[in-house]
Copies of this chain bind each other. A is one copy, B any other.
Amino acid sequence: MTIEEIAKLAGVSRSTVSRVVNGDPHVRDEVRIHVQQIIDDNGYHPNAAARSLASRRTRIIGLLVPRAIGVVLQDPFFLHLIQGAVEGCNETDYLLTMLLESADVDISNQRVYDRVIRGRHIDGVVIASSVVEDPIVERLQQDGFPFALVGRHPHHDVSFVDVNNVDSAKLAVQHLIEHGYRRIGCITGPPNMIASIDRYAGYVMALQESGRAPDRSLTAEGDFTRRGGYRAMQELLNNGNRPDAMFVASDTMASGALQALRDAGLRAPDDVAVFGFDGLDHQLVSQPVLSTMVQPIRELGREAVKIVLSRVASNESAPTQRYLPTEMALRASCGCGAADAAAGNGAGRGGDA
């Protein structure tokens, strides 16, 4: 079934069928209805390749997750991001394709870049969780290829959508300070990701503004996985300098940290309070219910797609940079509302975002 055959069946020209398919208003209603009928009756769908070739648009955008498989994609964070991105695409009849780079196979990453981006398989790309030094940002910039980052970039002046991680982290830590905790520790993300850097910066600022110096022995590095959080917490507990509260840079890691506490026979928040980041706790089902800084992950994904699409449409060069608001969710694990702290209280309880 080609457009030509439909045209013949409907007794109109190829052009008219094309107009109907693409919703062009310059078609008489009578004709439109008739043609649409023929299209439906024959189950015709325009060939994607032909369409892309002629229009120079594939109507696909990519979601690139660098070094995804090993570590990052485990985080439920990504599910929300993906969902948001898919929603953003649906609204404009675009398709989302996942571009997953392997951890260390540079060749395959290069291949993706050349084949998918240079070969114009996609119209634009959203890049999630890139590391600061990832060369892809600069390459895309040079190639003039439409893209947007989820998470700001420290060096390059590029399009992105992000939350204010510094201020958000600072607020979280200030909250712990207000609770009266004296020895507030931190589990960070990988040091080459901007979200890690910013959240740690916020942690440090909050301490400094309250007149304390951050203690390096209270900080451990995680990798945004549950296990990473578990190990980081263990490390902190074992070095003989036990914190009485923790700011953990992601809920997934916080869930691991809570388990490490439990396994060490400690109680949260009584022995060690915990504050997370992301707003994913209802998925992780931690005990006690995790206090966290909620970021609008789906909106982040949706917005990133929007930015990319607007850059695909108009070839302006000034980057679009947007910050979305976060919100504090105070629950049991930081010491607020002891009611939620009781064990056996139900998996999915807790406040909403």
Interface residues of A (CB under 8 A from B): 43, 45-53, 58, 60, 69, 73-74, 76, 79, 82-83, 86, 90, 93, 95-98, 100, 102, 105, 108, 111-112, 114-116, 118-121, 226-227, 230-231, 234, 256, 259-260, 262-265, 282-285, 287, 343-348
User: Which of chain B's residues have a CB closer than 8 A to the CB of A285?
Assistant: 226-227, 230, 256, 259
Tell me the nearest residue of chain B to A70, going by C-beta: B83
Q: How far is the CA of A112 from the CA of B45 in the complex (A)?
A: 12
Tell me the nearest residue of chain B to A52, going by C-beta: B49
Q: Are B69 and A74 in contact (CB under 8 A)?
A: no
User: Which of chain B's residues have a CB closer than 8 A to the CB of A47?
Assistant: 53, 119-120
Q: Which of B51, B100, B118, B283 contacts A82 (CB 8 A)?
A: B100
Q: Are B98 and A48 in contact (CB under 8 A)?
A: no
User: Which of chain B's residues have a CB closer than 8 A to the CB of A226?
Assistant: 283-285
Q: How far is the CA of A128 from the CA of B256 in the complex (A)?
A: 29
Q: Are A48 and B119 in contact (CB under 8 A)?
A: yes
User: Which of chain B's residues have a CB closer than 8 A to the CB of A112?
Assistant: 95
Q: Are A79 and B83 in contact (CB under 8 A)?
A: no
Q: Are B97 and A97 in contact (CB under 8 A)?
A: yes
User: Which of chain B's residues have a CB closer than 8 A to the CB of A343?
Assistant: 263, 265
Please state the number of chain copies in the assembly. Answer: 2
- With contacts A49-B58, A82-B69, A230-B285 taken as known, whether A264 is within 8 angstroms of B120 at the C-beta atoms is no
Shortest distance in angstroms between A127's beta carbon and chain B's nearest beta carbon? 16
Q: How far is the CA of A346 from the CA of B118 in the complex (A)?
A: 46
Shortest distance in angstroms between A26's beta carbon and chain B's nearest beta carbon? 24
User: Which of chain B's residues have a CB closer than 8 A to the CB of A49?
Assistant: 49-50, 52-53, 58, 120
Tell me the nearest residue of chain B to A72, going by C-beta: B79
- With contacts A98-B97, A118-B45, A283-B227 taken as known, whether A90 is within 8 angstroms of B108 at the C-beta atoms is yes
Shortest distance in angstroms between A304's beta carbon and chain B's nearest beta carbon? 16
Tell me the nearest residue of chain B to A82, going by C-beta: B100
User: Which of chain B's residues have a CB closer than 8 A to the CB of A48?
Assistant: 52, 58, 115-116, 119-121
User: Which of chain B's residues have a CB closer than 8 A to the CB of A114?
Assistant: 45
User: Which of chain B's residues have a CB closer than 8 A to the CB of A120?
Assistant: 47-49
Q: Are A79 and B86 in contact (CB under 8 A)?
A: no
Q: Are A259 and B287 in contact (CB under 8 A)?
A: yes
User: Which of chain B's residues have a CB closer than 8 A to the CB of A264?
Assistant: 344
Q: How far is the CA of A74 from the CA of B283 in the complex (A)?
A: 9
Shortest distance in angstroms between A258's beta carbon and chain B's nearest beta carbon? 11
Tell me the nearest residue of chain B to A100, going by C-beta: B86
Tell me the nearest residue of chain B to A43, going by C-beta: B118
User: Which of chain B's residues have a CB closer than 8 A to the CB of A119?
Assistant: 45-48, 51
User: Which of chain B's residues have a CB closer than 8 A to the CB of A115?
Assistant: 45, 48, 95
Shortest distance in angstroms between A259's beta carbon and chain B's nearest beta carbon? 7
Q: A231-B347, A234-B347, A259-B287 are in contact. List 14 more A-B contacts (CB 8 A).
A: A45-B114, A48-B120, A52-B52, A69-B82, A69-B83, A73-B79, A82-B100, A95-B97, A97-B98, A227-B347, A227-B348, A230-B285, A230-B347, A265-B343
9 A-B residue pairings within 8 Å (CB atoms): A45-B114, A46-B119, A48-B58, A52-B52, A82-B98, A95-B116, A96-B100, A226-B284, A262-B287
